[in-house]
Amino acid sequence: MPSPITPRSLQTLLRSVSSSRAFASSFEVSPDPTHLNLDYAPPSYDAHSAAVYPNFITEEESKSIIKEVSKRMKRRRFEQGHWDSVIVGYREVELVIPNDLPSDSSTSNSDKDSPPLFVNAIRRTRKHLEAKHLTHSESIRWIPCHAIDLSADGRLDAHVDSIKFSGDIVAGISLLSDSIMRLKPCSEEWKSSDANHTASSSLQVEGHVDLYLPKLSLYVLAGMSRFTYTHELLPSGSMFEFTNAESKIEGVRVDRGRRLSVIFRDELRTEKK
């Protein structure tokens, strides 16, 4: 006679099934091209170098991530400046999970049995990025994720994530509120500079691409969008223009509140001699 299922074991089973379904669905989902506005893109822009996946994260995963980040943030206050002047009104924490660090080869029994939802969400996002956006997935190493809590009146200015310390992609899960990310091409002078990778208007050229980032979505910047375009968040109240099936433009006002993002970066690869 089979032993009865306890409430705890049932909860573990349901969590495992939910995680498995989410993991499988991450390989079936496709980016939504309507979440990229290319109307003002330079002619040379590679539209395949940026992608937005709406509803990539489930509500349950979102709650788990928010709860874990809030616990790790503890009593951290919102900072009004960053060393590179890119971000204002933010809190940040490293979101390390088991086996992220070379010295961390152990895994707790609870993680072996049923990893928390936020851990599963990070792992399946990495697997998705490896399968869909990286050509060298067999040699990939991930930098521990960073969670950035941006206040409602915070600001993320135009910049390119470090090209000296991180690799081929920058990706992010967007939580708590919707936002618009703008990509702008940089001049050759900027690309060849060794500055702190912030971008003044004098070092940018005409044209831009807008990405609509609803909460629960995943955005990915690779290739051209990763290395030769800056990215920034537009102020609350900015408009995003969708092109529907009838090729009619529909404008949507995006009122951004407090925004939580989980950032994914792969390690910079060194070429083997």
Closest CA to 264 of 220, 217, 230, 214: 220
pLDDT tens per residue, range 64-102? 999 999 999 988 888 886 555 789 999 999 999 988 866
Total domains in the chain come to: 1
Domain extent, residue 200, equals: 8-267
The H or E element spanning position 231 is strand 229-233
Please give the Cα distance from 195 to 193 (Å, whole number). 6
Q: Is residue 3 part of a domain?
A: no
Please give the Cα distance from 134 to 127 (Å, whole number). 10
Compute CA distances 108 → 11, 105, 126, whole Å: 19, 10, 21
- Residue 175: phi and psi, rounded to 5, are -130, 160
Give the CATH number, domain containing residue 13: 2.60.120.590
Q: Is residue 229 part of a domain?
A: yes
Q: Is residue 160 part of a domain?
A: yes
Q: Is residue 23 part of a domain?
A: yes
Please give the Cα distance from 52 to 61 (Å, whole number). 18
Q: Is residue 272 part of a domain?
A: no
Q: Is residue 226 part of a domain?
A: yes
pLDDT tens per residue, range 13-42? 344 444 444 554 555 689 999 999 999 999
Q: Is residue 89 part of a domain?
A: yes
pTM: 0.82
Alpha-carbon torsion angle 115, 117, 122, 126, nearest 10:
80
For the chain, which residues score pLDDT lower than 70?
A: 1-28, 81-84, 101-114, 137, 188-205, 244-248, 270-273
Q: Is residue 2 part of a domain?
A: no
